[in-house]
Structure 1
Amino acid sequence: MVADGAAIFLLDHDHVLFLSPAAHPDAAAIQAQATQTMAGLGPVMAERILPVTATGTLVDRSFLILPRCEPLAGGRLRRLIQTPKVAAAILGWLRQLVGATVADGAADDRAETEEFRRSLRALVDMHDLPESLRADAERLDTDITAGTLRPRHVPMHGDLWRNNIMVRPGSGELVVIDWAGGTAAGYAIYDLIRFHQSFNLSSDRLRRELLWYQEALGGGALGLAMIRVHLLGALGHYANRLGEFPRDRFVALARDCYGAVDSALAALARG
């Protein structure tokens, strides 16, 4: 049993079965569909996604079968040894996803532009967020409306933290699991900052990554604005979909993400 009431069974040496919790009998089916949809976005995305071996229903609860993987190393020393390899692989993969989108050019889809604006407006209207964050969101919304910024969506996992990164036995290949919250219409910075926070990477490492994103997203002041619009767009995306997620926890999460990126960008601006 795992935290949400689901159950994971070892079927044999090579496969596991994920059984939905009784309270959410369609959870595994949703997970399977989301995983297959995200893997279908192209080879760069698919290289970090486990193939779904089978799906079905057991006692009115959906299940899916996946190749067996192992969690990342536990213990402080083993984590210190493993983290640089994990960071290089996953951060490089996130760069590839952004690079593939940037190569397609600026957004020319009105629906895409309007989705960015809806996300930013959700933050402007959330008055318990920091005023600086809300002011940034309002300014960026104005820039998008004026055509100064034309951001593109980027595929996003949405919950890229340590427990969702696994190792395939034998090959040592890193894969990302739990794609139920993934979306093709995602944002470029959110997975980066969540990964940075989960692995407690250095501020200098975050600045180096953001410098790459600045150049990839347009360079100079445009690149810096694009970093902000992607981060705040992601936060607004989740603000519009809180569901059962406690509002106070979301506000704390938004404050932490915004503060980390804002501090890193201020350091970049100082040179």
Structure 2
Amino acid sequence: MENIPASHHARLLCRQNQLTNTAGIAPGYLQANLLVLPAKYAADFHDLCLRNPVPCPLLGMTSVPGDASAIQPSKCIQSQDFDIRTDFPKYRVYSGGKFIEGRRNLLDVWREDHVGFLIGCSFSFEDALAAAGLPPRHHKTGTIVAMYRSNIPLLPAGIFTGGHCIVSMRPYRPEDIERVRDITRVYRLTHGEPVAWGWDGAKQLGIVDIDKPDFGEPQSFDEGEVPVFWACGVTPQIAVEAASDKIEGLVFAHEPGHMLITDWTADILQRLKLGIV
């Protein structure tokens, strides 16, 4: 489409159910994960993000309960044509903190008390890796990045206790890991540098079988490559599961690998001087 930013175009495709697996989509624009909660849990979840900024970096949130288009800070989504209920490719629905179904949109399950949070996504730094000659494997294979439950505990906040961090994985050669760390370190609003790497790193995270991710798809390894792990924005969904006995009503999230394309460009990280939004 002409005369609209690539980010807006991508959201329109999602709204029309024409886009999935947002890896590599709209290069240069930050991608975001989603969590939507009843308003009475919003303050606790906000505190959870502030206490766990690496796995849950907060990009923005809806400023008015029930308003699916009012995102603050407003620079995150500049277009007036925006709806958090439709502009992700796929959604997950939780009831009482437990996953019940996947959906293409949230139009008929959204309630007036829902508050949405946009969480930074590691897809946002993948363009920089590709530009440096280090493209993630799932870009080459057209698969969804592999994600695993780890033993890294989340600092609790309110009802959110007992949760653990999810990590995403990309294979790299050991001699490239320092470059990978340097490239991704500045993207603190989208998880930053890796939290662990190598086979010893996988063991330390409690990952037993690299070929059986908890989310996404297995990734192929070339000879000599090792796994490199980043904190992942699917973590809030695990926090919801851990609090299932305390949550009433419907909670929504993105389907892993199916993110929102925001209007923020990667250089916003430098303009914000790596500060907290």
Bigger Rg, which one: 1
TM-score of the superposed pair, with normalisation by structure 1: 0.27
TM-score of the superposed pair, with normalisation by structure 2: 0.26
Identify, as 1 or 2, the structure richer in strand: 2
Using CA pairs under 8 Å that are at least 6 residues apart, name the structure with larger relative contact order, 1 or 2.
2
